[in-house]
């Protein structure tokens, strides 16, 4: 049902504000007047347009967190599982959701569904909150009659995404803080300390070592062109961000991720775990394998691994094995493809997939913990090398000065 904001005056002239979740503006006006107050203003509360905008509410949309979305999806899945019709389930969600922006959006979703739109299309009208993966999975669930299963899997997926993000944040907190203070310290040295020492070296009128010349040049450049450095970094960030959103850039970026020493292994593990656990859940719930592979493909963010799953789907549709395209891609470990092959031959594909997913979930947790232990010494070494370079740049000319005396 739509949500209406109203202003009214009570008998003492005090302004009253509130919201109503009701089917029409006429009913909303009638309800406000029934409170014994004088209605001043009433209007429907709407979310920002799908294309964005500069309204205050469009800025608030970004405040719908993964936690909010995960909780709402779990509630929605529970209602659908209880055989409650979609429209009634959406009405219940509007009343249950705490996040104001999400509550408004779900109200609009319910309106569109009542007007005849599919649930996937209604959700897809809000891409800032419901990603294309989310909408595509709901669409596949509606088409196959497995909406309940898909919503439960989406809830699991959203919650696991939230947990993974929190683990990565926790693992990266110390390295990021250390890197930030190291960056600040180096800037302070180059901008405030080196210029004073450089004056002493220049007054010596002697040939300076190469590392000292480089240090002085960096110091002068940062003093004179600090603004250019900031603009260059901002420009590079903007260019890279836009480039990796293009099809070619996204493909190259995802290929680069897979080749990174530690990150690449972690990315593969996360995608493999997601592939196996989702496919096992869907197949175990009676979802046809072609539909299940379509849903799984939309859950995998890496385009190269997604392409491998799509080729596996085509292979299955042609009556061939699911394993061959996965092996040919080179992105799925031999142990995974071997287990899937055994599952196909024995007719126990779902249990095999479940075993692989559980194994890889444990490995992902272990790798994230190991990532911190790898990053910390690397950052310490890099910071130490930077400080050592500056120290030698200063000490060598000083020793030369002392020898002249």
Tens-digit pLDDT profile for residues 362-387: 888 777 777 767 777 887 888 888 88
Comparison of pLDDT for 168 and 339, the residue scoring more: 339
Calpha distance 68→104 (Å, rounded): 13
Is 202 domain-assigned? yes
Q: Are residues 400 and 272 in the same domain?
A: yes
The region of weakest confidence among 7-16, 146-155, 208-217, 298-307 is: 7-16
Note the pLDDT of residue 50.
Answer: 45
| pLDDT, mean over the chain | 80
* Whether residue 180 is found in the same domain as residue 114: no
Cα-based torsion angle of the residue sequence 152, 154, 157, 162 in order, rounded to the nearest 10 degrees: -110
What is the per-residue pLDDT for 270?
84
Query: d(Cα 280, Cα 267) in Å, to the nearest integer?
Result: 20
The full 3-state SS of 311-362, as one line of letters, equals HHHHHHHCCCCCHHHHHHHCCCCHHHHHHHHHHHHHCCHHHHHHHHHHHHHH
Please state whether the predicted TM-score (pTM) of the whole model is above 0.85. Answer: no
User: Is-contact 303 250, C-beta < 8 A?
Assistant: yes
175-187 pLDDT tens trace: 788 878 888 888 8
What's the pLDDT score for residue 401?
Answer: 59
Residue 267's pLDDT is 86
* Per-residue pLDDT at 258 exceeds 70: yes
Sign of the CA dihedral running 374, 376, 377, 382: positive
Residue 7 pairs with which residues in a beta bridge? 17, 41
pLDDT digits (tens, 9 = 90+) for 29-74: 777 777 777 777 777 665 554 444 334 444 444 478 888 888 898 8
Same domain, 106 and 231: no
From 99, 127, 159, the end of a domain falls on 159
Percent of the chain with pLDDT over 70: 90
pLDDT of residue 56: 40
- Examine residue 289 and state whether it is found in any structural domain, yes or no: yes
What local confidence, expressed as pLDDT, does residue 100 receive? 83
In this structure, the answer to whether residues 31 and 95 fall within a common structural domain is: no
Range of the domain at 113: 63-159
pLDDT tens string 92-108? 888 888 888 888 888 88
* Average pLDDT, integer, range 86-97: 87
- Output the pLDDT for position 234: 93
Of 11-25, 139-153, 186-200, least confident by mean pLDDT is 11-25
Mean pLDDT along residues 189-203: 80
Q: Compute the Cα dihedral for 127, 129, 134, 135 and give only its sign.
A: negative
For residues 248-264, give the mean pLDDT. 88
- The confidence score (pLDDT) of residue 382 equals 82
**Among candidate residues 159, 187, 218, the one where a domain is terminated:** 159
Total domains in the fold of the chain: 3
At which of 90, 124, 159 does a domain end?
A: 159
Question: Is residue 213's pLDDT more than 80?
Answer: yes
Nearest Cα residue to 47 out of 113, 94, 100: 100
Does 110 share its domain with 205?
no
In this predicted model, what pLDDT tens digit does every residue of 278-326 receive, in sequence order?
888 778 767 788 888 888 888 788 899 999 999 999 999 998 888 889 9
Whether the per-residue pLDDT at 395 is higher than 80: the answer is no
Q: How far apart are CA 183 and CA 228, in angstroms?
A: 17
**Whether residue 262 sits in one domain with residue 331:** yes
80 and 18, same domain (yes or no): no
What pLDDT score was predicted for residue 171?
73
The CATH number for 359's domain is 1.20.81.30
Say whether both 102 and 146 belong to one domain: yes
pLDDT at position 307: 92
- On whether both 155 and 247 belong to a single domain, the answer is no
């Amino acid at each position: 049902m739509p949500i209406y904001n109203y202003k009214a005056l009570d008998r003492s002239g005090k302004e009253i504000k509130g919201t109503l979740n009701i089917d029409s503006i006429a009913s909303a006006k009638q309800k406000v007047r029934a409170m014994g107050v004088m209605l001043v203003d009433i209007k429907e509360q709407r979310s920002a347009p799908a294309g964005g905008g500069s309204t205050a509410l469009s800025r608030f949309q970004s405040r719908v967190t993964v936690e909010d979305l995960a909780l709402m999806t779990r509630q929605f899945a529970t209602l659908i599982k209880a055989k409650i019709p979609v429209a009634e389930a959406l009405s219940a969600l509007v009343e249950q959701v705490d996040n104001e922006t999400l509550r408004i959006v779900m109200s609009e979703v319910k309106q569109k569904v009542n007007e005849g739109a599919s649930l996937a299309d209604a959700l897809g009208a809000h891409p800032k909150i419901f990603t294309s993966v989310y909408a595509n999975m709901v669409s596949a669930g509606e088409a196959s009659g497995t909406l309940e299963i898909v919503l439960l899997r989406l809830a699991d997926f959203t919650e696991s995404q939230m947990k993974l993000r929190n683990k990565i944040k926790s693992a990266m907190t110390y390295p990021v803080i250390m890197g930030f203070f190291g960056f600040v310290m180096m800037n302070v040295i180059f901008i405030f300390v080196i210029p004073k020492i450089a004056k002493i070296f220049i007054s010596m009128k002697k040939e300076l070592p190469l590392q000292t010349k480089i240090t002085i040049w960096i110091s002068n450049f940062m003093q004179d062109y600090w603004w250019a450095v900031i603009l260059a970094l901002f420009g590079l960030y903007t260019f890279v961000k836009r480039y990796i959103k293009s099809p070619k850039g996204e493909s190259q970026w995802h290929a680069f991720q897979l080749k990174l020493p530690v990150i690449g292994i972690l990315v593969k593990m996360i995608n493999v775990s997601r592939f196996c656990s989702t496919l096992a859940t869907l197949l175990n719930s009676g979802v046809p394998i072609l539909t299940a592979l379509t849903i799984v493909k939309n859950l995998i963010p890496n385009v190269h691994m997604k392409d491998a799953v799509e080729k596996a789907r085509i292979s299955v549709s042609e009556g061939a094995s699911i394993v061959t395209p996965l092996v040919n891609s080179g992105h799925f470990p031999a142990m995974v493809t071997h287990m899937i092959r055994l599952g196909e031959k024995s007719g126990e594909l779902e249990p095999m997939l479940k075993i692989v997913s559980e194994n890889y979930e444990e490995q992902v947790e272990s790798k994230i913990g190991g990532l911190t232990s790898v990053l910390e010494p690397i950052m310490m070494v890099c910071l130490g090398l930077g400080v050592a370079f500056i120290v030698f740049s200063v000490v060598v000319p000083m020793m030369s000065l002392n020898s002249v005396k």
